[in-house]
Amino acid sequence: MDDIEVEVLADPELTEPVFIEGLPGVGHVGKLAVEHLLEEFESRVVRRVYATEFPPQVTIEDGVAELASAEIHAVSVPATATDGEGEDGDGVDLLVLTGDHQAQTNAGHYRLTEAFLDLAEEFGVRQVFALGGVPTGELVEEPSVLGAVSAAEHVEPLEEAGIEFREDEPAGGVVGVSGLMLGLGGRRGFDVACLMGETSGYLVDPKSAQAVLVALEEILGFEVSFESLEERAEEMEEVVGKIQEMQNQQGSVPTDDDLRYIG
């Protein structure tokens, strides 16, 4: 197969779609967020992207193998606000990118991001949101959402939606597809924002994913139920309680072996 292959599954008519990226990363925040959108709203896969940069593996469901890939879903979300992309009750069309893997090399991240942006351009996308987490190194009770943008004029509208812009944060910048969406997307003329929920960095974090989605709701003018995410957050809080108990007893952060059941 070629280094990158795109399977065309559908060509829906979309109105000024907004591209949302949520691939695996810190705390799985972005992936949890977009998967929740796909669970709550009707969607269909429009493109499937295969790449030799993904790990050499398949997933198995009911004995049937599926090669590692990323998927772009078309989602039509009804509007509940009059000041976002869903102005005048028209709703907002989304193109949601998710998958189980990112690229395994630096060059692969660049090639895949360019391919994702090519697909966004194909659908007439101008606005892109990359969703992810920013590690704090400690448990966060009420996560804030930090922002980074491709151009300075995008800062003020996001601040009005409650997004925080902190000097020199996140430390070390934004890596992976989310970071390259900002850099490469901005160079190609897309309006790109990265929304990052605070998270410990060593736990799957549904509470941080919810914080990111709340911010996205405010920006785009839609509403989504958080019941299932809140249930997952409650389950995680039980796990956190056990971790804190271990920390009190051992005086250290748990090892990977301690956390291997979390996910």
In tens digits, what is the pLDDT along the chain, a chain of 263 residues?
999 999 999 999 999 999 999 999 999 999 999 999 999 999 999 999 999 999 999 999 999 999 999 999 999 998 664 344 444 557 899 999 999 999 999 999 999 999 999 999 999 999 999 999 999 988 888 999 999 999 999 999 999 999 999 988 888 889 999 999 999 999 999 999 999 999 988 889 999 999 999 999 999 999 999 999 999 988 888 877 787 788 777 765 555 444 433 33
pLDDT at 263: 34
- Whether residue 199 contacts residue 133, with contact meaning beta carbons closer than 8 Å, is answered with yes
**Full DSSP string of 177-227:** HHHHHHHHHHHTT-EEEEEEEEE-SSS--HHHHHHHHHHHHHHHTB----H
Give how far Cα 238 sits from Cα of 30, 161, 235, 244, 262, Å: 22, 31, 5, 10, 11
Q: Is residue 180 part of a domain?
A: yes
Q: Is residue 118 part of a domain?
A: yes
Q: What is the DSSP letter of 46?
A: E
Helix (H, G, I), strand (E, B) or coil at 71: strand
Distance CA 235, CA 203 (A): 12
Q: Is residue 254 part of a domain?
A: no
Distance CA 201, CA 34 (A): 19
Give how far Cα 127 sits from Cα of 19, 46, 76, 140, Å: 6, 18, 16, 30
Nearest residue to 37 via CA among 76, 65, 71: 76
Q: Is residue 70 part of a domain?
A: yes
Range list of H helices, 83-205: 106-122, 155-160, 176-187
Kind of pairing between the strands at 18-21 and 92-99: parallel
pTM for the whole structure: 0.88
| Domain encompassing residue 180 | 4-226
Q: Is residue 155 part of a domain?
A: yes
Task: Retrieve residue 3's tokens.
Answer: 């280094």
pLDDT at 138: 87
Q: Is residue 17 part of a domain?
A: yes
Nearest residue to 75 via CA among 53, 51, 98, 52: 98
pLDDT at 80: 66
- CATH at 222: 3.40.50.10900
- Whether residue 180 contacts residue 148, with contact meaning beta carbons closer than 8 Å, is answered with no
Q: Is residue 219 part of a domain?
A: yes
Give me the sign of the Cα torsion angle 207, 211, 214, 220: negative
pLDDT at 146: 97
Q: Is residue 249 part of a domain?
A: no
pLDDT at 253: 53
Instruction: Count structural domains, the chain.
Output: 1
Q: Give yes or no for a cis peptide into 56 (omega within 30° of 0).
A: no
